[in-house]
Amino acid sequence: MAIWLKRGAGAQAKADIDVQVRASVERILADIGERGDDAVRELSVKFDDWDRDDYRLSKTEIDACIASLSKQDIHDIEFAQAQVRGFAEKQRATMTDLEVETLPGVILGHRHIPVNAAGCYVPGGKYPLLASAHMSVITAKVAGVPRVVTCAPPFEGKPAAAVVTAQALAGADEIWCLGGIQAVGAMAIGTQSMAPVDMLVGPGNAFVAEAKRQLFGRVGIDLFAGPTETMVIADETVDGEMCATDLLGQAEHGPDSPAILITNSERLARETMREVERLLEILPTRDIARKAWDAWGEVILCDSYEEMALVSDEIANEHVQVMTDRDDWFLNRLTNYGALFLGPRTNVAYGDKVIGTNHTLPTRRAGRYTGGLWVGKFLKTCTFQRVLTDEATTLVGEYCSRLCALEGFAGHGEQANLRVRRYGGRNVPYAGSAQPLHPVA
């Protein structure tokens, strides 16, 4: 039976936080819906101390941000974007349109149609997370979205040059310097200066994630992404320093970022906890990571690899780093997660920044029912049908007529009956049903 050597915050504590966040977000979104740009400006001043007449960046401002970066910085951004774009293109290639003749004269098919406008949120209040621009804007453009709007908060009192550069190089059509609920709300609801989008994507803090949840239905969303979660599944093939480093590498995201170790080795578990304490003395971002580890860190000791997999699937974490003597077994066994990082040579930071897989991933157990952001999220799979012959419409129409009668839908039935009369030459009574010529005995 699994034993928790360290537990994080309980379900009630999480629920209490959710209630507070939910109420705040609801008020703010209602204000944006009622007052538009005026509400957005007040919120930006209140939360980011950021005020300007127009929050959309001009081409001159964008060019200045790009010019402020070194050639090496731009090269590194372009390298990361090439990886993300390349993998997204390979994913898009797996999604083919379909047209098939299912019965003689009956053609069914589907098309993958991109949404017309996507809003990509790039978080950056604590750190300028330029990688989120690659993950959202590039993926939308590979999917074929015509209008891609992207918002990121100011950093240290001005647009974050690296973020703006990444947004521009990724192909964004509109770049706005707005953060938090006001950015997400403006993109989804629309204001006097910003036309609304059809879909919201991107990670964020608890307030951004809740805003997306409340806006779902008015617009589509990719998934519930944020706050960041990480899990390490490890055995004695690795040491405590590596486990602790990978846990704290994600805990630094924010004070509410869970970091969990699952292991079948008590020695490794306790060594990892000691290493966490040692590293928290020297990690530059220790103030944030310490709060996350103290409040949300967990260490779970299991009896077997099977139990490790069961516990992992129950938690359904966003990032799952697997470092064991049977990594491929976990690849084939695990079912609930955002992304897997298999073996000690890779890690979550590679996925977050550069390797090519998308870093916008399901959190809060959403990995039970969805994967992460990818080109398919921006595409609507829409079906179509054609009936080419009189014989085909008569055949389908007769079945449809009788099935509608079983349900009591006379109007539906008449849609079928009319075709049977006109194309099949059969005299079906109005609001009746087409009786079979050869009834089944």
Binding-site sequence positions for Zn(2+): 250, 253, 352, 412
Long-range CB contact pairs, 154-160, < 8 A, 24+: 154/48, 154/50, 154/179, 155/124, 155/125, 155/128, 157/49, 157/50, 159/57, 159/61, 159/65, 160/124, 160/128, 160/130
The phi and psi torsions of 124 (rounded to 5 degrees) equal -175, 25
* β-bridge pairing 3-6 and 319-323: unpaired
Tell me the longest C-alpha to C-alpha distance in the chain.
87
The phi and psi torsions of 259 (rounded to 5 degrees) equal -135, 120
State the Cα–Cα distance between residues 111 and 94, nearest whole angstrom: 13
- The annotated binding site is made up of 121, 182, 205, 228, 250, 253, 319, 352, 407, 412
Task: Tell me which amino acid residue 437 is.
Answer: L
State the Cα–Cα distance between residues 175 and 334, nearest whole angstrom: 39
Strand-pair partners of 381: 112
State the Cα–Cα distance between residues 91 and 131, nearest whole angstrom: 19
**Residue 265's CB: how many other CB atoms inside 10 A?**
17
> Is 372 in contact with 352 (CB distance < 8 Å)?
no
> Is 188 in contact with 215 (CB distance < 8 Å)?
yes
Residue 89 among the catalytic residues: no
Residue 318 among the catalytic residues: yes
Catalytic residue among 112, 134, 319, 359: 319
**Nearest residue to 234 (alpha-carbon basis) of 266, 258, 257:** 266
- The annotated binding site for substrate is made up of 228, 250, 253, 319, 352, 407, 412
Q: Per-residue b/e over 41-54, b at no fewer than 16 CB within 10 Å?
A: bebbeebbebeeee
Q: Per-residue b/e over 381-420, b at no fewer than 16 CB within 10 Å?
A: eeeeeebeeeebbbbbbbebbeebbeeeeeeebbebbebb
- C-alpha torsion angle, residues 46, 48, 54, 60 (rounded to 10): 170
H helix runs in 36-154, sequence order: 37-48, 59-67, 71-93, 131-133, 139-143
Catalytic residue among 318, 359, 391, 438: 318
Indicate which residues carry an active-site annotation.
318-319
